[in-house]
A = this chain, B = another copy of it.
Amino acid sequence: MAEKIQGVLTPTLVPLDARGEINEAEMRRFYGWLIDKGVHGLYPNGSTGEFTRFTVEERKRIVKISCEVANGRVPVLAGAAEANVKETLAACEAYHSYGARAVAIVSPFYFRLSQESVYAYFAEIAKNSPIDVTLYNIPMFATPLEVNTIRRLAEFPRVVGIKDSTGDLSFMMRMISAVKPDRPDFCFLTGWEAVLAPMMLIGCDGGTHATSNVIPEVTKQLYEMCKAGQYADAMKIQYRVLELFDVMLLNFEFPDGFRAAADLRGFNLGRGRQPMSSTQQVDRTALQKVLQCILADFGFVGSPDSGCPTRTGNAPNDKLAQIVFEVLHELERRGVV
């Protein structure tokens, strides 16, 4: 039996070039760095990887490159949801041939289905997939998976785990209670990184965390502290991760905040494929400075030249304070003040 998927997997961002095409060289450099920094796996074609904004061929290419970079050092969990069961199974075949450890399949989206239909959909996949399947529950974007449906799907040996992005601890506990007695090998991953430590406490095996694109060293450390039972120390880190996470999540259009922060670590992610208005572009510049200040606290980058105002934890305020700092700095530079 294959090893259980666990630890912090990175739902990888996709570097793009100036024309919006996949920047393969930067992608290889970036994913290699993530593995070097200690992430426990790569998770291409997740929400953070904006899978819906790529073509079928691009999604395949992304997984192929990921598997090549991983090269057996860490497992690859490949997002494989396509237009329908037949296309999804074709992706499963392909990813299996590339050497992925398992696929992750998001619950049907656009249409919101009944639980019976969600069951029928995954059952059809589970019966025919040549590769292990993890369910992906993200009710804010796709049809919710209820506990009883997950329990029924866990009867298929091919279904080896779930990635749940609700961040709802009681829901996760209900899921674990319902599934674990009959499937002790089942893997529970949280996609809501703001609460990794508490999720580990209640029995999760890890998570797929967008923030690990930016601070892989910290998310790895957080995970290891939890594994060692050092929850009090882990929570100190968790609070700092939350601050970074919130600025990236709540003030940019997802996942552009994560792209902006990864750039600060020395990569060139490029602009995402969702167009930005001019207002949004101005905002982005100010917010990236706030991100730089947070990353400077972690010790990963230097502070902006213009300096860092005291942060309040209220990002819109922090953005304004940063803009004031920028203006003052510029005036100083010009000898005005």
Q: A residues touching B (Cβ–Cβ < 8 Å)?
A: 20, 47, 50, 52-56, 83-87, 108-114, 116-117, 119-121, 123-124, 140-142, 148, 151, 167-170, 173-174, 177-178, 192, 194-195, 197-198, 201-203, 229, 231-232, 235, 238-239, 242-243, 246, 253-254, 273-277, 279-280, 313-314
How far is B213's CA from A138's CA once the two chains are assembled, in angstroms?
A: 33
Name the residue in A85, A110, A141, A142 with the highest tally of chain B Cβ atoms < 10 Å from its Cβ. Answer: A110
Name the distance in Å between A187's Cβ and chain B's nearest Cβ: 18
A-B contact pairs, 20 of them (CB 8 A): A47-B111, A52-B83, A52-B109, A85-B275, A110-B142, A117-B274, A120-B274, A121-B274, A124-B275, A148-B314, A167-B170, A169-B169, A173-B238, A177-B239, A178-B314, A198-B198, A201-B201, A201-B232, A229-B232, A231-B231
Q: Which residues of B contact A246 (CB under 8 A)?
A: 174
Residues of B close to A167: CB separation below 8 A: 168-170
Instruction: Report chain B residues within 8 Å CB of A113.
Output: 253, 274
Q: Which of B87, B109, B114, B169 contacts A198 (CB 8 A)?
A: B169
Q: Within the complex, what minimum Cβ distance (angstroms) separates A111 from chain B?
A: 6
Bound CA span A254–B110, Å: 12
Copies of this chain, tallied across the complex: 4
Contacts of A116 in B (CB 8 A): 277, 279-280
A246 to B174, CA, bound (A): 9
The reply to whether A119 and B277 contact each other, CB–CB distance below 8 Å, is yes
Contact between A141 and B110 (Cβ–Cβ < 8 Å)? yes
Looking at the assembled complex, report how far the CB atom of A29 sits from the nearest CB atom of chain B, in whole angstroms.
Answer: 24
By a CB distance below 8 angstroms, the chain B residues around A151 are 314
- Extra contacts, 20 of them, besides A47-B111, A114-B253, A120-B276 (Cβ < 8 A), are A20-B86, A53-B83, A55-B87, A109-B110, A110-B110, A116-B277, A116-B280, A117-B253, A120-B274, A121-B274, A123-B275, A167-B170, A169-B194, A169-B198, A173-B238, A173-B239, A174-B242, A178-B313, A202-B235, A203-B235
Which residue of chain B is the closest to A142 with respect to CB atoms?
B110
What is the distance, in angstroms, from A30's C-beta to the closest C-beta of chain B? Answer: 21
Choose among A20, A109, A173 the residue with the greatest number of B CB atoms under 10 Å from its CB. A173
Known A117-B253, A173-B194, A178-B313; judge A141-B111 contact (CB<8 A): yes
Which chain B residues lie closer than 8 Å to A110 at the CB level?
Answer: 47, 52, 109-110, 141-142
The residue that A120 contacts in the complex, of B194, B243, B280, with Cβ under 8 A, is: B280
Nearest B residue to A203 via CB reads B235
Q: Is the CB of B112 within 8 A of A235?
A: no
A278 to chain B, nearest CB (A): 9
Which residues from chain B contact A276 at a C-beta distance below 8 Å? Answer: 117, 120
Give the residues in chain B near A275, CB-CB below 8 Å: 85, 117, 120-121, 123-124
Residue in A84, A119, A123, A279 with the greatest tally of chain B CB atoms within 10 Å: A84
A177 to B247, CA, bound (A): 14
A140 cross-chain contacts in B, Cβ below 8 A: 112
